[in-house]
Chain A
């Protein structure tokens, strides 16, 4: 099982913490979000650096990196799977899913965060 300590020094995790200013957050908060990402890493079988790399492809002709729409969709599907596996409900489900998205966003992957509402849109 991957732990918070295992991933803390990965380039993409350091970048996430610096960019989001999580470095200055309380230790237990840091541990919690690292734990969420570590669990996601386990579910996908990919290290944080591999997760970021997975979202990009390179153009055949120019070699330029671009964000793969399909892979972003795949990422959202894994996030849903992760939430179901952990049994997170309500706001917890959204917040934890968005911890993973926050990690991806700070690494350049514009992946829309889910919104938590007290009343779900359909039941409003």
Chain B
């Protein structure tokens, strides 16, 4: 699928086909996409545990639910639990030097082994890794980057995906999560039982509400023709039609016996 189409097609999927298994190869493609995400210090901030529906007992699934992560947790054939690793700095100096040797961090831009030891790692990364607030911020951003690549890879593979909260204490115990991993999000994966695009794009505020040119207060102005081009390439699509969506929800509720 074209890149822009993938971005446009992605929406949170809430109704998965519980009887249509997901090919493990597609899950690997998602993990490979996450593994290609841009990252500071070339570190492994991001961890994930893939769980197929029948890998855990029903009681554990029940305990993993939060008030809003309920039906979809029962329907999704695959769950990916994403974590951030607070021990990301370990081995950081060596990884940076490897990038220097490869020329990814070029001498032309001031990089050297000495700079890595004394400044980049010694004065920036290592002290930051000991500050819980700063580390949590850094780890969270890294996880967001990786998780999004996995989401888009899934859409490209024809899968439905959605991110959700989960009961992290239960997951920690059930999945044997180490203490230095902090919980991020649960990604549910499966083939959509609903419209593959979740019934259309969700409302978003226009660019000028959030993006600025030169300084805060000067909203980014739409450049004529750009949105038309994005509509043609599939990044911008029709918004949700509430009536059509409600009808679809009624049909899905009927199929799965869900409350209405």
Using a CB–CB cutoff of 8 Å, the interface residues on chain A facing chain B are: 20, 67, 91, 94-95, 98-99, 101-102, 105, 110-119, 121-122, 124
Interface: B75 (CB within 8 A): yes
Beyond A94-B257, A105-B259, A115-B256, whether A122 also contacts B54 by CB under 8 A is: yes
Contact B257 A98, beta carbon cutoff 8 Å: yes
Q: How far apart are A88's CB and chain B's nearest CB, in angstroms? A: 11
A-B contact pairs, 13 of them (CB 8 A): A98-B258, A102-B259, A105-B259, A110-B67, A111-B70, A112-B71, A112-B74, A113-B257, A116-B256, A116-B257, A119-B19, A121-B58, A124-B19
Known contacts A113-B71, A115-B18, A117-B18: does B257 contact A91 (CB below 8 Å)?
Answer: yes
The complex places the Cα of A21 from the Cα of B75 at a distance, in Å, of 26
Question: Once the chains bind, are A67 and B71 in contact (CB under 8 Å)?
Answer: no
Pick the contact of A114 from B19, B53, B68, B257 — CB < 8 Å? B257
0 or 1 for each of B74-95: is its CB under 8 Å from A? (1 = yes)? 1100000000000000000000
Alpha-carbon gap, A102 to B68, bound state (A):
14
Given contacts A118-B19, A124-B19, contact A113 B259 (CB under 8 A): yes
User: Does B257 lie within 8 Å of A110, measured CB to CB?
Assistant: no
A91 to B68, CA, bound (A): 23
B260 within 8 A of A: yes
Contact between B18 and A121, CB atoms less than 8 A apart: yes
Asked whether, in the complex, the Cβ of A117 is within 8 Å of the Cβ of B19, the reply is: yes
Q: Check if A115 sits within 8 Å of B68, measured CB to CB.
A: no
Total interface residues in chain B, CB < 8 Å? 18
* B260–A102 CB distance below 8 A: yes
- A74 to B54 alpha-carbon distance, docked (Å): 26
Chain B residues closer than 8 Å to A98, beta-carbon distance = 257-259
Contact A101 B259 (CB under 8 A): yes
- Best-surrounded residue of A20, A101, A113, A124 (most CB of chain B within 10 A): A113
B75 and chain A: residue at smallest CB distance: A115
Asked if B47 is at the interface of the complex by the 8 Å CB criterion, the answer is no
Which B residue's beta carbon lies closest to that of A20?
Answer: B260
What residue in chain B is nearest A119 (Cβ atoms)? B19
Question: Which residues of B sit under 8 angstroms from A110, Cβ to Cβ?
Answer: 67-68, 70
- Check A121–B258 contact: CB distance below 8 A: no
Output the least CB separation between A70 and chain B (Å). 14
**Least CB distance, B188 to chain A, in whole angstroms:** 13
Given contacts A110-B67, A112-B70, A115-B75, contact A121 B53 (CB under 8 A): yes
Q: Which residues of A contact B53 (CB under 8 A)?
A: 121
Q: Which residues of A contact B65 (CB under 8 A)?
A: 112
* CB <8 Å contact, B75 and A99: no
Beta-carbon contacts under 8 Å, B232-260 to A: 256-260
B150 to chain A, nearest CB (A): 24
